[in-house]
Each structure stands twice: as C-alpha cells, then as structure tokens.
Amino acid sequence: KNQVEQSPQSLIILEGKNCTLQCNYTVSPFSNLRWYKQDTGRGPVSLTIMTFSENTKSNGRYTATLDADTKQSSLHITASQLSDSASYICVVSGGGSQGNLIFGKGTKLSVKP
Amino acid sequence: GEEVAQTPKHLVRGEGQKAKLYCAPIKGHSYVFWYQQVLKNEFKFLISFQNENVFDETGMPKERFSAKCLPNSPCSLEIQATKLEDSAVYFCASSQRVYSGTDTQYFGPGTRLTVL
C-alpha cells in the first residue's frame, strides 16, 4: 500500500533554533517528493519538489533532502522564526497518468519566542 | 488570476441536504484537483480534471459526489444528500501540467463544510 509517514507528529522549538522533520514513504513507482507548508486555516504552499535524482534542494531557510534508496526525506529549517509555526506536509507523487499526490499527516511545528 | 479561488469559505448543511462548492483555478492552468481534508489529517484525493475532461476520478465516492469543470465557469464539487462524515475542508488545487511530474499544485484556501 502506498503510504507516507511523517515524524514527529508535533514539535515545539524556540525561535532561532534549527529543526529537522522526517518523512518515510513506500510509494511505488516514485516520481517526486514535495514538502508543503500549511498555515492554520489556509491551503498548503509548496516549499520544495525533488525528483529521484535530486539529493537536496533549498528554499531560503528550508532545505530538503531525499534518499531514494532508503525512501526517506527530511526537511531542515534553519534559524526558525515565529512565522514558521505551521504544519509541514510531505507529499509523494507516484507519477503515471494520474498526477494525484499521496499526503503524509504532517508535522505540526510550533515556534515559541 | 494568480490565486486559486474557492467559494464559499464556510458551508453548513443539515444531514441529507445538498452542498455545492466552487473553485476558480489560476488562469492558464489546465489541471484542477479536488482534495478532502478531514480533522486536519491527511488529504484524500477526490478527482482531477484536464480542462473540462475528467482526468482521474479514482478517489470519488460516486454515489453522492459529482464534479464538473465547464468552459468559462468555475469548477464545482457537489455532494448530494450530505452525511455527517462529509464534514471536512475541501481544497481545490490547479497546475499547468500534471504528467511532467514536478509541476507545483497551487492550493486554494479551502471550503469548510460542516454537516449537522
């Protein structure tokens, strides 16, 4: 069964600290992996998209890594800010003709002053 | 426009009533996707369109759910005879292409449906 598992479920950190969120997947075939940020009451916003040949991709203070062999990805947030408080969702695309995405349940990050 | 628009923002229906949700994709985007998010958990894919044609409907509970994307009109998702378990936030997303694999899906703000 195609699944995307994220950990931790929730995380509280102090402003200015770094953190790393994890994503494991069993989606096959694999096309690409995306990280989204979802603020409360809003739709998800794309942070990074990586294909199987890409090991790392950055977007400002967000850096995503991908190990297609072990089917693991991580999202590293550097020098966290209060505005980083949100749910971070790992999403895997199986490609093919569907184009629909398989979503993890997300990690809820709270950044405290 | 540059944003996916969804209306209404909130919708309350009594069990058994009909609910209709609307989505205007970003101009120039050929693909529209509908997702259901229950209790802030993972998104469930419902259906996708390529222009006005159904592209993938494997996630649709067909007995009560239907969707359309007609030319020059917002896309719509309709639920006949709503049930309590239909209470969720329904997100619409659009993208320029889908088969390239790396096209970003841009999400709307969602419509929160509450079935009482």
- Chain A residues with CB inside 8 Å of B35's CB? 103
For residue A55, the one-letter residue type is N
Residue B76 confidence class, pLDDT cut points 50, 70, 90? very high
In this predicted structure, what is the pLDDT of residue B1?
A: 54
In this predicted structure, what is the pLDDT of residue B55?
A: 87
For residue B83, the one-letter residue type is K
The contacts of residue A90 (CB under 8 Å, 6+ apart) are A4, A6, A21, A23, A25, A33, A34, A35, A73, A75, A103, A104, A106
If you average pLDDT over residues A12-27, what whole number do you get? 96
State the best of A23, A38, A89, A100 to mutate against chain B, taking most chain B CBs within 10 Å. Answer: A100
Residue B37 half-sphere exposure toward CB, CA atoms < 13 A:
27
CA A76 to each of CA A57, A89, B67, B102: distance values in angstroms, whole numbers, following the listed order: 10, 13, 38, 21
Place of tokens 């950055």: A58
Residue in chain B lying closest to A39 (CA): B109
Alpha carbons B60 and A47: distance in angstroms, whole number: 28
Residue in chain B lying closest to A107 (CA): B41
Cβ of A51 within 8 Å of Cβ of B48? The answer is: no
For residue A32, the one-letter residue type is N
Query: Is B100's pLDDT higher than 80?
Result: no
Q: Is the peptide bond before A113 cis (omega within 30 degrees of 0)?
A: no
Strands (E), chain B: 5-7, 10-13, 19-24, 31-37, 43-50, 53-56, 65-68, 75-79, 88-95, 106-107, 111-115
Query: Is A77's pLDDT higher than 90?
Result: yes
Higher pLDDT, B83 or A41: B83
If you average pLDDT over residues A34-39, what whole number do you get? 95
- Min mean pLDDT across A8-17, A100-109, B5-14, B68-77 is at A100-109
Alpha carbons A47 and B82: distance in angstroms, whole number: 35
What is the average pLDDT score of chain A?
92
- Chain A residues with CB inside 8 Å of B33's CB? 99-100
DSSP A55: -
Cβ of A99 within 8 Å of Cβ of B98? The answer is: yes
Report chain A residues touching chain B, CB-CB < 8 A: 4, 31-32, 41-46, 49, 51, 87, 89, 93, 95, 97-106
What is the average pLDDT score of chain B?
91
Predicted confidence (pLDDT) per residue in B15-72, tens digit: 999 999 999 999 999 999 999 998 767 789 899 999 999 988 888 988 999 999 998 8
Task: Give φ, ψ of A109 to 5 degrees.
Answer: -105, 130
- Chain A residues with CB inside 8 Å of B98's CB? 99
- Chain B residues with CB inside 8 Å of A27's CB? none
